[in-house]
Amino acid sequence: MKTLNQIIEHSIQVKKSNFLSFIFPCDEFEERMRILRANHPKAVHFVFAYRKIEDGQIIERFSDDGEPKGSSGMPVLNVLRGHDMINVAIIVVRYFGGVLLGIGGLVRAYTQSALDCIKFHHLAFSEYVKKESFDIVCQYPSFSRLKYLAKQYEIEIVKEDFRTYDISLRLRSTLELKKAFLKAYQDN
């Protein structure tokens, strides 16, 4: 599986309609949609699709945003599926050019828009590495050592909760690095 940690933009024109494609990490979806709607107030459609992993399950969602059913969102989702993308979202902004494309034309245009965005920027994608969250509690005197080890073992500190007698942390990492980190932390 492949993923992405930056924003990529691409555009194509089909029979006077402009299709602006934006592909980016899925966790930025709500913010990115809000920004695109604000930056493109004259655009007619904001078609999207995304695939992400939540609790070990692949979650997929798409929207035709007013285009005929099945003509836009599903073709964009199929591009993500076909390229084995995960934790990635695509929004295709369409400016209507005055020429009706028909269902087949819309399917081809939205598919091509998403495909080109991936094809012309393929070097921006990387292999997806499964990470899991885990919780740990440490005493205040051990906190600086824990942070040092987390950095050494590439463990992401997601949340810190400073309580009265100890610190509760939510960390995220690959399974292999988690095991090595916990062993190093417990050894001293």
Q: What CA–CA distance (Å, rounded) separates 185 from 188?
A: 6
Q: What is the mean pLDDT of the chain?
A: 87
CATH code, 132-187 = 3.30.70.260
pLDDT at position 188, please? 65
pLDDT at position 50, please? 93
Residue 33 confidence (pLDDT) above 90: yes
Residue 116 confidence (pLDDT) above 80: yes
Q: What percent of the chain has pLDDT over 70?
A: 96
Fold type of domain 2-127: Ribosomal Protein S5; domain 2 (3.30.230)
What ranges do the domains of the chain cover? 2-127, 132-187
Contacts of 89 (CB under 8 A, 6+ apart): 23, 24, 25, 26, 28, 29, 32, 48, 49, 50, 52
Identify the bridge partners of residue 10 per DSSP, sorted by sequence position. 21
Q: Which of 180, 151, 185, 155 is nearest to 170 (CA)?
A: 155
Residue 121 confidence (pLDDT) above 80: no
Q: Token pair for residue 146? A: 């824990």
pLDDT at position 74, please? 93
Same topology between domain 2-127 and domain 132-187? no
